[in-house]
């Protein structure tokens, strides 16, 4: 694997990708900061009547601020109410019907923004339910996540404060001013590329060879794909997800969907800097993120470009890379970049068959999820998880140099460290426990396919994906049995509600602290040294997974090489 082994097209894609994102991050970040500070924007004349109507209906006073416990309670009640709606909608959708345990799994999956799908949606879920339930909760999951990140940001920006914002206002403004306008424009672009938008029509086609006559099923796909990518949710209208030509028809639809995954996370990072009045902090976090993400992106691409060694010896020309499970309009270069970004951002949408990736690439995708979805991460969840790591790094650095750990002039105390540990350790705990249960019980083993190492990879992948609310799947695993649907549901709840409440508690503890003016006395969190240390702390978080990664992806890699 040399640098030369990667085609220029991959480097070109990477450069264009980050160039566009870095240009977009400032204006969009400034705009988002305005939205969440309750300021006027150019959309105010259009959206304000709607916004006020929603407040009136809900008996919400937009000026009323919440303390962390009220914010957390509202978050839990809102999640529960969403869950009830979704569950009933899925159970009562009529024909086709799905089992209650699968409906529960789907409910929790969409409620938490994971979008893990244990059923083929175009077969098991009606177009109406996809449109009026799943897509709606994609918006709400993203908006709730955004709200939590903004609440944590406020707790750092404010000094001596008892409140961290109003959940209802944050969600409403997030949807009306950010998600809805972006998705509206993006879905129209997607339609221009060939993504379908109907209310669920079936077209009969005769085909050139008559025995291949088909019924093509269309539906409200473009409007759903837009939020699936922009909201980093990942749930497809079709089972084949972003590999399906009706969801992702051209190289341009592919590239723009790729951009859509990172657009809000990167802009939110900028908005964070604006809201705490210190944009250097945003760029420091950005640098730390890229320091880890770029080498990992390279590893995936290089592995896939080298092709399957077993096919090389059979006289197959793999100039285009490991094409099994990939579409030509995407190419190996595009699919590698997509897989990097979809696992880095908690989106989990797939444009190619992950199970067919080479073990090195699957292993890296696993690590990207196990990092806790912090390399840009999901909309909102990426920022709050990253800030938790920043605080951890500040704490460790403080210990090393014998000073009180402080971030933005706020002391990191004992309670804060407890919450930080909880956020970092909870997903590791649920991932490893779930994996252990799967490989040691008959019910767990029943779902696995392929070799034993492959089975371990599949289970590890599924539980990493659920615990970190990613939603991508290796698909070799048959996860539709009650064993997996229920266990994975628990992991998704822990990864969302457990971590959400811990983050809000952290915000509640940080907000009242007086921010002492930052002087030279303090640790500077924007120096190259701190940036590198933050990256190292992130890497450290993958240590609990090292034994299982060795037994799964690493073993498979050597197994494959030995077979060559």
Partner 1 sequence: MFKALRASLSLIAAFTLLLGLLYPAAVWLIAQTAFPHQANGSLVSYQGKIIGSELIGQNFTSERYFWPRPSASGERPYAFSTAGASNQDPANPALVERVRGRIAVLSNAHETQSGMIPADLVTTSGSGLDPHISPAAALYQAGRVATARRLTPERVHALIKEHTENKTLGILGEPRVNVLRINLALDRLGGGRP
225: CB partners within 8 A, 6+ apart: 187, 190, 195, 236, 237, 242, 247, 248, 257
What's the Rg (C-alpha) of the chain? 23
Query: Could you tell me which stretch among 252-260, 363-371, 513-521, 538-546 binds partner 1 (CB under 8 A)?
Result: 252-260
Comparison of 218 and 535: residue with beta carbon closer to partner 1: 218
List C-alpha distances in Å: 67 to 45, 156, 509.
30, 14, 10
DSSP strand pairing (214-217 vs 406-407): unpaired
For partner 1 (CB under 8 A), the number of binding residues is 125
Query: Could you tell me which stretch among 272-280, 329-337, 423-431, 498-506 binds partner 1 (CB under 8 A)?
Result: 329-337
State the nearest-atom distance from the C-beta of 413 to partner 1, in Å.
29
Q: Give the footprint of partner 1 on residues 189-208 (CB under 8 A).
A: 191-199, 201, 203-208
287 binds partner 1 (CB under 8 A): no
Which listed residue (29, 165, 307, 508) binds partner 1 by CB under 8 A?
307
Q: x-or-dash pattern for partner 1, window 456-495, by CB under 8 A?
A: ------------------xxx-------------------
Comparison of 307 and 444: residue with beta carbon closer to partner 1: 307
Specify whether the CB–CB gap between 158 and 67 falls below 8 A: no
User: How many whole angstroms separate alpha carbon 501 and alpha carbon 423?
Assistant: 9
Which listed residue (85, 411, 512, 554) binds partner 1 by CB under 8 A?
85
Which listed residue (31, 82, 398, 534) binds partner 1 by CB under 8 A?
82
306 binds partner 1 (CB under 8 A): no
Helix axes 482-493, 100-111, angle to 10 degrees: 20
Comparison of 1 and 543: residue with beta carbon closer to partner 1: 1
Q: Give the closest residue to 468 by CA, choosing from 547, 396, 545.
A: 545
339 binds partner 1 (CB under 8 A): no
Q: Give the footprint of partner 1 on residues 536-555 (CB under 8 A).
A: none
In the numeric block, the tokens 């969907």 are attached to 257
325 binds partner 1 (CB under 8 A): yes
The 10 Å Cβ neighbour count of residue 8 is 9
User: How many whole angstroms separate alpha carbon 55 and alpha carbon 60?
Assistant: 5
Q: x-or-dash pattern for partner 1, window 508-527, by CB under 8 A?
A: --------------------
State the nearest-atom distance from the C-beta of 381 to partner 1, in Å.
20
91 binds partner 1 (CB under 8 A): no
Q: Give the closest residue to 486 by CA, choosing from 441, 426, 434, 427.
A: 434
Query: Could you tell me which stretch among 99-107, 213-221, 264-272, 520-528 binds partner 1 (CB under 8 A)?
Result: 213-221
Q: x-or-dash pattern for partner 1, window 221-240, by CB under 8 A?
A: -xxx-------------xxx
440: CB partners within 8 A, 6+ apart: none
Specify whether the CB–CB gap between 228 and 136 falls below 8 A: no
State the nearest-atom distance from the C-beta of 362 to partner 1, in Å.
8
In the numeric block, the tokens 């912090």 are attached to 374
308 binds partner 1 (CB under 8 A): yes
State the nearest-atom distance from the C-beta of 538 to partner 1, in Å.
28
In the numeric block, the tokens 């922009």 are attached to 230
43 binds partner 1 (CB under 8 A): no
Comparison of 278 and 351: residue with beta carbon closer to partner 1: 351
477: CB partners within 8 A, 6+ apart: 447, 448, 449, 458, 459, 461, 462, 484
Comparison of 69 and 527: residue with beta carbon closer to partner 1: 69
State the nearest-atom distance from the C-beta of 104 to partner 1, in Å.
18
Q: Give the footprint of partner 1 on residues 401-460 (CB under 8 A).
A: 449-451, 454
List C-alpha distances in Å: 397 to 101, 202, 282.
46, 61, 19
363 binds partner 1 (CB under 8 A): no
Q: Give the footprint of partner 1 on residues 155-174 (CB under 8 A).
A: 168, 171-172
Query: How would DSSP label each residue in 410-433?
Result: EE--HHHHHHHHHHHHHHHHHHHH
State the nearest-atom distance from the C-beta of 300 to partner 1, in Å.
14
46 binds partner 1 (CB under 8 A): no
13 binds partner 1 (CB under 8 A): yes
Question: What's the chain's length in residues?
Answer: 564
3 binds partner 1 (CB under 8 A): no
State the nearest-atom distance from the C-beta of 333 to partner 1, in Å.
8
List C-alpha distances in Å: 79 to 74, 169, 227, 472, 475.
8, 16, 19, 22, 28
Comparison of 56 and 520: residue with beta carbon closer to partner 1: 56
In the numeric block, the tokens 């990256």 are attached to 535
User: How many whole angstroms separate alpha carbon 152 and alpha carbon 563?
Assistant: 51
Each residue of 107-144: b (16+ CB within 10 Å) or e? bbbbbbbbbbbbbebbebbbbebbbebbbbbbbbbbbb
State the nearest-atom distance from the C-beta of 211 to partner 1, in Å.
8
18 binds partner 1 (CB under 8 A): no
């Amino acid at each position: 694997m040399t640098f030369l082994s990667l085609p220029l097209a991959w480097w070109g894609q990477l450069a264009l990708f980050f160039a566009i994102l870095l240009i977009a991050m400032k204006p969009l970040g400034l705009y988002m900061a305005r939205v969440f500070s309750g300021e006027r924007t150019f959309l105010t004349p259009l959206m304000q009547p709607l916004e006020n109507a929603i407040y009136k209906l809900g008996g919400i006073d937009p000026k009323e601020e919440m303390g962390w416990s009220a914010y957390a309670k509202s978050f839990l009640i809102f999640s529960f109410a969403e869950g009830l709606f979704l569950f009933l909608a899925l159970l009562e959708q009529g024909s086709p019907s799905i089992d209650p345990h699968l409906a529960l799994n789907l409910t929790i999956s969409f409620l938490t923004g994971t979008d893990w799908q244990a059923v083929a949606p175009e077969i098991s879920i009606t177009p109406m339910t996809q449109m009026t339930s799943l897509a709606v909760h994609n918006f709400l999951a993203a908006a709730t996540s955004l709200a939590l990140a903004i609440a944590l940001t406020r707790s750092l920006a404010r000094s001596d404060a008892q409140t961290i914002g109003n959940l209802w206002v944050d969600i409403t403004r997030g949807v009306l001013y950010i998600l809805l306008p972006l998705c509206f424009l993006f879905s129209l672009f997607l339609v221009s590329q060939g993504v379908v938008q109907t209310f669920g029509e079936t077209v009969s086609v005769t085909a050139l060879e008559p025995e291949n006559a088909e019924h093509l099923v269309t539906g409200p796909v473009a409007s759903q794909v837009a939020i699936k990518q922009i909201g980093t949710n990942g749930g497809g209208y079709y089972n084949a997800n972003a590999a399906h030509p009706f969801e992702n028809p051209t190289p341009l639809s592919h590239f723009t969907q790729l951009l859509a995954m990172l657009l809000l996370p990167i802009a939110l990072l900028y908005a964070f800097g604006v809201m705490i009045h210190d944009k250097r902090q945003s760029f420091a976090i950005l640098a730390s993120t890229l320091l880890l993400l770029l080498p990992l992106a390279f590893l995936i691409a290089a592995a896939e470009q080298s092709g399957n060694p077993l096919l090389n010896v059979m006289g197959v020309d793999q100039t285009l890379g490991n094409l099994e499970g990939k579409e030509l309009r995407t190419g190996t270069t595009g699919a590698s970049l997509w897989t990097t970004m979809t696992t880095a951002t908690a989106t989990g949408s797939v444009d190619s068959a992950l199970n067919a990736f080479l073990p090195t690439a699957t292993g890296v995708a696993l690590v990207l999820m196990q990092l806790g979805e912090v390399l840009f991460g999901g909309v909102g969840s990426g920022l709050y998880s990253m800030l938790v790591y920043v605080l951890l790094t500040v704490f460790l650095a403080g210990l090393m140099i014998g000073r009180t750990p402080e971030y933005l002039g706020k002391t990191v105390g004992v309670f804060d460290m407890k919450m930080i540990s909880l956020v970092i350790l909870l997903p590791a705990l649920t991932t490893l426990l779930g994996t252990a249960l799967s490989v040691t019980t008959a019910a767990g083993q029943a779902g696995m396919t392929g070799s034993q190492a492959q089975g371990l990879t599949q289970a590890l992948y599924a539980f990493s994906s659920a615990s970190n609310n990613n939603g991508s799947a290796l698909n070799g695993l048959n996860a539709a049995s009650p064993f997996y649907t229920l266990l994975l549901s628990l992991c998704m709840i822990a990864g969302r509600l457990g971590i959400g409440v811990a983050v809000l508690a952290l915000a509640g503890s940080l907000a009242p602290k007086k921010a002492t003016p930052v002087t030279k006395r303090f640790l500077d969190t924007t120096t190259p040294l701190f940036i590198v240390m933050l990256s190292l702390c992130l890497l450290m978080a993958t240590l609990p997974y090292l034994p299982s990664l060795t037994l799964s992806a690493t073993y498979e890699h050597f197994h494959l090489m030995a077979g060559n």
